[in-house]
Amino acid sequence: MKKKQQHPGGGADPWPHGAPMGGAPPGLGSWKRRVPLLPFLRFSLRDYGFCTATLLVFCLGSLLYQLSGGPPRFLLDLRQYLGNSTYLDDHGPPPSKVLPFPSQVVYNRVGKCGSRTVVLLLRILSEKHGFNLVTSDIHNKTRLTKNEQMELIKNISTAEQPYLFTRHVHFLNFSRFGGDQPVYINIIRDPVNRFLSNYFFRRFGDWRGEQNHMIRTPSMRQEERYLDINECILENYPECSNPRLFYIIPYFCGQHPRCREPGEWALERAKLNVNENFLLVGILEELEDVLLLLERFLPHYFKGVLSIYKDPEHRKLGNMTVTVKKTVPSPEAVQILYQRMRYEYEFYHYVKEQFHLLKRKFGLKSHVSKPPLRPHFFIPTPLETEEPIDDEEQDDEKWLEDIYKR
């Protein structure tokens, strides 16, 4: 019986019918010894089928996302951040980046609460920090229809980010219309002070002179322009009674018709929106602390704002614009105002308490001492501060020429 040919390395010859063309590879013995050390190279039919199916799914997925508009968003953003993106030619404009800070901010400024000062600062800061400051030419339309809300939200949402939109408008619920809810900020002031500033500014304007303001309010009759503030309040003229006095709360309550009706429903809804949608609601009487907190919360927008606000040149220009012919109503008239504005004051004190709590968390001390409990006959002290006030009807560009008014 013929014996099997033995290989020099031991065992049966791997090529019993002769070596392949070209001869056996060198180191055959060592190659054979390594085979048992690589068991994962041995595939079963099931493993082969699994690998094939995985590769097929991957290929199909790659084809589908390319047909759907290109690579996944996170890959596009990654390539954009790395600075070597070449996908623009194939996929059009890049998606907006997800910024590491709030990139959508809305300042739905309350009239006569210092917003002209803040908007001036924002114009300076937008040039300094490069964010998109979006303003509006509409100054006296705060209540919107459903279609107007949808159109405004669409216009705001499509603005280049990071943006800060500012306008006199009651709170808008972006999520109701399918938009991303932005970060809200605002500032309010003592309700009686705000009312008096509005009352006299509408009639007599500021340092530019009474004649100038008469041109801006030609429809106001002379008897109305010179109407004594006490008579307006005590005789219950429309301008000095509800719903005209119910002014601040709707900016936080929203566009619902009940938000314009003085009562608990609007008050509680306004508080809820402050807690859920507003990053900060400041108090004008403590404007420097408001700016300091804004600088800490939104540094990409407000970094350096306090130093700009404290600049002597800005202070000097601000002191030139003071509402003229302001007078203080009698204690009786002020008491009546307070009673008519009780919901406004409840909201004001709620916001003030929240603001002071926030200040304490950041180690800031309030400039005013803790007020005692208010008696039933509490009378607010109007005109005790000299903070800037706002004119919601004045054109922004014209206002820039006059800097800002107190």
| Count of Cβ atoms closer than 10 Å to residue 86 Cβ | 8
End-to-end CA separation in angstroms for the chain? 119
Please state, in angstroms and rounded to a whole number, the distance separating the CA atoms of residues 2 and 253.
103
At 251, is the secondary structure helix, strand, or coil?
helix
Report H helices in 362-403.
396-401
Q: Which of 17, 129, 139, 168 is catalytic?
A: 168
Confirm if 152 and 146 have CB atoms less than 8 A apart. no
- Among 120, 149, 117, CA closest to 133: 120
- Among 310, 282, 285, 284, CA closest to 296: 282
Long-range contacts of 66-69 (CB under 8 A, 24+ apart): none
Using DSSP bridges, classify how beta strands 104-107 and 163-166 pair: parallel, antiparallel or unpaired. Answer: parallel
Burial of 105 (0-12, 13-18, 19+ CB in 10 A): buried
- Among 76, 60, 137, 180, CA closest to 393: 137
168 is catalytic: yes
- Among 136, 185, 134, CA closest to 163: 134
- Known catalytic residues are 168
